Structures are given as C-alpha cells and as structure tokens.
Chains A and B, each alone.
Chain A
C-alpha cells in the first residue's frame, strides 16, 4: 500500500476561541446544539442554522454519539460549507445527553460539521481526539476552564492532529460474534440463526483468526454441486440433505464449513483498503487484524454508512 505523506492538520486548527461556548446555561441537548450552531453561523458562516440543526438532531436521535466519559461528539454533513468546522460547548455541571440511556451525563459537546462531499472527514476528526476522549478526566478538566481561549489552548497543547487518512481501525466495529476452533457446526448454525449473520470468524485460543464459517459454505455442504445438477427437485423437496447435516451437526467440526478465503486488512491500513478487499474478495465483511489477531470487523453496510453518511 502506497500512501503519500502530508503534514497532519492539528485538531485545534479546525476551530477558534470564537467557536467555543463556555459554561453554557442551557441544560438540554437540543438547546445546546442550537446555541452552538447559531454561534458557528455568525462566526464561521455555516449557512442555514435550522437545516443544520435538523441534520444534527436527526443523527443524534438515531444514535447518540457519546464518544467518551462526559463527551458527546454530534456531527452533520452540510452542503453549504467547504471545510470542516468544529464548535465546542462546555457545561460545568453536566447534563443528561440521552435520557433513554443510562450513565450519560455530558460536560463537553464537540460539534463537528463537515462538507457533504468529504467522506470520512468527521471520522478523521473523531480519530484525532480519540486519545483525549478516552481519558476519563478530559470532560471534567475542560468543563472547569472558564474562557474559550483556555479551551482552545487545551486542545492546541494536546497536539491532537487529524490523521493523514482514515484507517481501518477508525471505522471498524468490535467483534461480537465469533467461534472458537474447537466449536462444532451446531454452534455455528446457532450463531447464524441467532444473530442473522452471514459469516462468523473462527479464532484460536490466542485470538488469532484461523478462518471464517459462512452460510454460503453451509449451504454448499447441504446442497453440493452434484445434487444441484439434477433438474428434478423431488429427492430434496423435504430438505433431505439438510436433515442429514443436522443429524451430524454436533459431531461435525467447523472445518467442514470453514473457508480460508475472506477479506482482511491491517488495522492501520487506509479505510479505503477495506473497500478494496471487500470488492476483491466479493464478500460483505472485512476482518481488521493486528498482526494475526482479529481486532474488529467492517461490514459493507457499516462501511458505506460511515463513509457516505457520517
């Protein structure tokens, strides 16, 4: 993979002290977002505030973007702007960001507005402050700062910078469904059915990916080529081959439906590599690796959603 090096853009360069609302008196999410957007409209010229608010609100209603302890990072992609704009609001005592979820008192709101035609820019911004967000004290520290300049200086001194490109690990999801190498076909079928998964990774005791079992392979085992040759479906009309597989499912090792052909990408590869591998392997899922260890997955639907819509 060849990637040209460019100078990284500091996160602090995406906003100015004038874009920061310190110790806002508002105590609900929508009011704070509206206040921030109005400020940005005056200071950065983001266009129609009402439209931008609707966009941000719609996304937050769908999935509240609480990215770290006490930190929310709402975002939207707008037609009216040509470069990424960040606005920050601090709430000294915090407020409940998403009432339907527990443990979500937020003290720091980082609103990111990205041009609609810049896929992944928001994710790059998010990635740049990922370390800051993971620090449990960040929200408290920033909420204590009493001037916009100090807030800006906090991010500036931190040295956070947008990565040169979006990496696979920036868009991956955690692995929630997986199989161990000693599992049987019975467990794989259970997972396929329970999670509506089309494929499930198989890992060994060290977490290394050793293969992938897929519903297509399962179907191939149940209906091999030689059965499909027949025009007459009478011999299989009552799923006879499936019944035979079910009878032996608890004794059949995963190897039977495991394939070694799947898409993998290194966690530090550019995110676009995920799309390349998914296309090349004609699959819907790419597995993100740290060496041989499986650290995440990117589904095609998730990829498109993140790149084209987030």
Chain B
C-alpha cells in the first residue's frame, strides 16, 4: 500500500467513525426527545452503533460489539445476569454442534459424493444445472446451514465453470439466491430461524417450520429459478453448448473417485430425523420445549468427536466459526437490552399506533421492513431487535413474515447475508474478480421483491389456518397431558420462556 493509499484509508476510516458516532448519538438524542429514559436511550444508541459497525467496519464488528457491551455494563444499562441470559447460549451451542457435524460430514466425503453425483448426470444442460444448484443450495441450507451450503455450491459451480471455461458469476449468484431462499425453509437453514424458533412465545418447533414455512419456500424458489433462467439465459445457453461439445468428446466434468459416503449420509439423515422428532421426544421425556432441538446437534457432534477423536480438536478449533458466534452473542445481548429496558415494547406500541393491529396490514409491513433492513444489515441484527416487537404483537403469521423478510431480503444486495459475503469472497479469491454492487442489485432486487411478494401472498393464504400463540400453547398442553407430561415442569418452562 502506498503512502497516499494509507492516507486515504485513514481519512475514510475517520469519516466512518464520525458517521458511526454521529448516527449513534442522534439516535440517542432522538430517544431522549421521545421521552425514553437514560437507559433506554443508551441501549438504542449502542444498538445502532453496532449496526453501523457491521455496515462500515465489517472486520472490526466484533471488537466494536465488545466495546458496546462494556459501555452498556459500565452505565448499568446491562447487568451481568441479564447479559448471561440474553446472549442466547442455547442458540450458540446449537450452532456449535451444527458446525462440528458439518465439518465431520465434509471429511466423511458426503459433500464430495453429492458433487460427483451432479457432475455425472447424463445429458445435463445449462437449464438442468441452474435447477440443480438452486434446488440443491436451498435443500442443503435447509438440512445444514446457508454458509455450508454456499461453500458446497460454489465449489460445484467453480468445478463446472472452470472445466467449461465459462464465467462463474451468474451461477454463483443463482446458487446464493437459491441458498438464501432455502434458508427460510427450516429452522436449521439460517441462524435467524433458530432465533425466531427459540424466542417465539411459545417456541416454534421444527415441524412448525416444515408445515408453515417450507411450502412457501418451495414456491418462492420455483419462481426465482424461472426468473433467473430468464435473466441469465445467454450464460445458460453458452453452458448448454459447452456441455454438449464436451459430451461429444466423451469428456467428463471432473475426476470421479469412489467415495465411502454412506456413513456421512447416515449421520446427516440421523441428525435431521433426530431434530425433526425433537418435539415428540421432548413430550415423551417430559423436557422443556426445544431442549432436544438444541441438544441434538451437540450430542451428535459429541458422538462424532468420540468416533474421530484424533480430529476432535480440529473440528472445534477450525470448523466452528468462533468469530461469528461471539459476535452473535454480543448482538443478542445488546438486542436483549432493548427488551430489558422496554424499548421493544415502546417500539411495538408505535408500530401498533402507526399500522394498527390488523395482521393484513402488519404482514407486508414486517416483511418489507425486515427485507429492506436485511438487505443492508446482517439479518440476525434485525431479527434480534424485531423479535420482541413481533412477540408483543401476538400474531403467529408475523413470525413467518419476519423469517421470510429477513431471509429473502438478504438476496437484494451483495452484503445482505453471510452466504453472499462468503460466496463473493470465494469468487474473489479464486478469480481475483470483483462483483459490482449494481451487478448484484439488478438481479437481487428483482428476485428479492418478487419472492417477498410471493411470501406475503403465501403467508396471507395460510394465515387463517395458522394457530394463534394461545392455540399453540393450548395444543402443547393437550399433547403434554396425553403424554403424561409433568404439568409443573411445563408451567415453569413456559414462565421461563415468558420471562425471556
């Protein structure tokens, strides 16, 4: 870096720090003028500072979150017990378990086998390939998580595009959009899924996601694929031509090896089944809601670490993204402070004043706000802040609106979700090429807006059939009774959830 570049960078950083502190300060002042008390104003200002930090100083976001927590604690806005409760250690442990399991699955050759299965498909065309990467990306996100899914999809795209010598960018975008859409299908797909599931009052189960979110995801995914096939028709056509030419020469798309995939597949299916049955197991064993859901990936990770004990340390140290998880913890704690200081209640009140309490009005508002917010800020930031508000509004469809808005909004810009950033990082590293903001936006915005509209329609259509929070609670109690569940435990658990 030349001296001039260093100087420019310093000036840029100074301006960014000024913007971050100014916006944060203005929010604090605004809160003061809106008659928020000192603690409420402080928690709003710190929360906005962290949002600004993720926008302006992506690489320093964790450091800024640490400092933010320090300021909140130093000013007595956040206490240590509240921090420990609000940093959502359950969600973090769930993600740790998933990350370890995914690391083992990768080493067991499961992902290698899936990629080989794709590149050996006979008579594959550009259109088929687009369907495969979008659907596979979506389903992988549903089964593991969006980041694992996109690493896997990007590797597949690079392999095929390198072999065919075609531009990988359109196919990477397709893979990312498919992955983000798929991440709304289950609670495993995206950290926001597990956060919404856990923080919903009463909590949502894996089956709830499969029943109410997965079908809508399928519709939005199909619509997106059709849009993308049209938008990238030239690239798809070129791919078809190259694939045909290669087939005529009798050449494949990459070397194929005999992969002992069965153990990996068994682990994956076992884990998904375990998680899918969590609600039933919890009732059978008389456990608090979502205990098995949270513990299942941890138990499976533990068993895998016992099995492959020589690699156990590697899985924990290399496969778990501690940086991201620590940031999540700080973020949840700051968002929890908003709830603790009753800022969420007041915002929910303003929401009701502005939009009324009709779900038909609130539904598009929540989808729109969370989609636009997630397009520019890490979606978990938005969901963490919005969850208490949505809980206060007490409409089940709004939970799904928040989930879909947050996941689909991530498609709008290139910085909208972790999957986008990971994929673009891989693209940049491999091809030393940059994606331009508007290159992504012109595709992402179309897909983002259309999928949000479809999602709105889907949720609105299913709303009459969705149980209210009260009905969900009653249904749970009925099931608990029929399973002989300890009612004292159930009540105390519900109280814990309420308190949270």
Interface residues of A (CB under 8 A from B): 221-227, 229-232, 234-236, 240-241, 244-245, 248, 251-252, 255-256, 261
Contact = CB atoms under 8 A, between A and B. Distances in A.
Contacts of A225: 155, 158-159
Contacts of B165: 255-256
A231 B159 contact: no
B257 A227 contact: yes
A245 B253 CA distance: 11
Given A224-B255, A229-B106, 18 more contacts: A221-B254, A224-B159, A224-B254, A225-B159, A226-B112, A226-B159, A227-B255, A229-B109, A230-B107, A231-B107, A231-B108, A232-B107, A232-B109, A232-B260, A235-B109, A235-B259, A241-B256, A261-B432
A226 B155 CA distance: 7
A39 B273 CA distance: 92
17 contacts: A224-B159, A225-B155, A226-B115, A227-B255, A229-B109, A230-B107, A230-B109, A230-B112, A231-B107, A231-B108, A232-B107, A232-B109, A235-B259, A244-B256, A248-B250, A248-B251, A251-B250
Interface string B387-416: 000000000000000000000000000000
B133 to A, nearest CB: 14
Given A234-B260, A255-B165, A261-B432, A229 B255 contact: no
A236 B257 contact: yes
Given A226-B111, A229-B107, A252 B251 contact: yes
Interface string B105-132: 0111101100110000000000000000
Nearest to A258: B165
Nearest to B254: A224
Interface in B241-260: 249-252, 254-260
A251 B115 CA distance: 24
Contact of B260 (A224, A235, A241, A252): A235
A241 B251 contact: no
Contacts of A236: 257
B163 interface: yes
Nearest to A236: B257
B301 interface: no
A188 to B, nearest CB: 16
Contacts of A251: 249-251
Interface string B161-200: 0010100000000000000000000000000000000000
A234 B263 CA distance: 15
Nearest to B107: A231
A197 to B, nearest CB: 22
B156 interface: yes
Contacts of A240: 255, 257-258
Contacts of B252: 244
Contacts of B109: 229-230, 232, 235
A240 B254 CA distance: 12
B275 to A, nearest CB: 24
Contacts of A245: 255
Contacts of B260: 232, 234-235
A227 B256 CA distance: 8
A226 B156 contact: yes
A232 B108 CA distance: 7
B311 interface: yes
A235 B432 CA distance: 32
Contacts of B158: 225
B contact residues, range? 20 to 34
B415 to A, nearest CB: 25
Nearest 9 pairs of A and B residues by beta carbon? A241-B255, A231-B107, A235-B257, A226-B115, A230-B109, A244-B255, A226-B112, A235-B258, A225-B155
A89 to B, nearest CB: 47
Contacts of B254: 221, 224, 226
Contacts of B259: 230, 235
Contacts of A222: 255
B106 to A, nearest CB: 5
A183 to B, nearest CB: 16
Contacts of B108: 230-232
Contacts of B116: 226
Nearest to A242: B255
Interface in B32-77: none
Contacts of B311: 231
A223 B254 CA distance: 9
A255 B109 CA distance: 29
B376 to A, nearest CB: 31
A64 B252 CA distance: 52
Interface in B342-387: none
A217 to B, nearest CB: 9
A221 B259 CA distance: 18
A257 to B, nearest CB: 10
Nearest to B261: A230
A236 B257 CA distance: 7
Nearest to B255: A241
Contacts of A261: 432
B432 to A, nearest CB: 7
Nearest to B111: A229
Interface string B257-273: 11110000000000000
Nearest to B249: A251
Contacts of A229: 106-107, 109, 111-112
Nearest to A248: B251
A236 B254 CA distance: 14
A244 B116 CA distance: 14
A261 B429 CA distance: 12
Interface in B429-445: 432
Contacts of A227: 112, 255, 257
Contacts of B249: 251
A241 B311 CA distance: 26
Residue from B116, B255, B432 with most neighbouring chain A CB atoms (10 Å) = B255
B204 to A, nearest CB: 33
B176 to A, nearest CB: 18
A222 B256 CA distance: 10
Contacts of A241: 255-257
A226 B249 CA distance: 24
Contacts of B250: 248, 251
Residue from B159, B256, B257 with most neighbouring chain A CB atoms (10 Å) = B257
A250 to B, nearest CB: 11
A67 B162 CA distance: 45
A230 B311 CA distance: 13
A232 B193 CA distance: 33
Residue from A222, A232, A245, A251 with most neighbouring chain B CB atoms (10 Å) = A232
Contacts of B111: 226, 229
Contacts of B432: 261
A230 B155 CA distance: 14
A184 to B, nearest CB: 11
B96 to A, nearest CB: 20
A240 B106 CA distance: 20
B60 to A, nearest CB: 27
Contacts of B159: 224-226
A231 B165 CA distance: 29
Interface string B298-334: 0000000000000100000000000000000000000
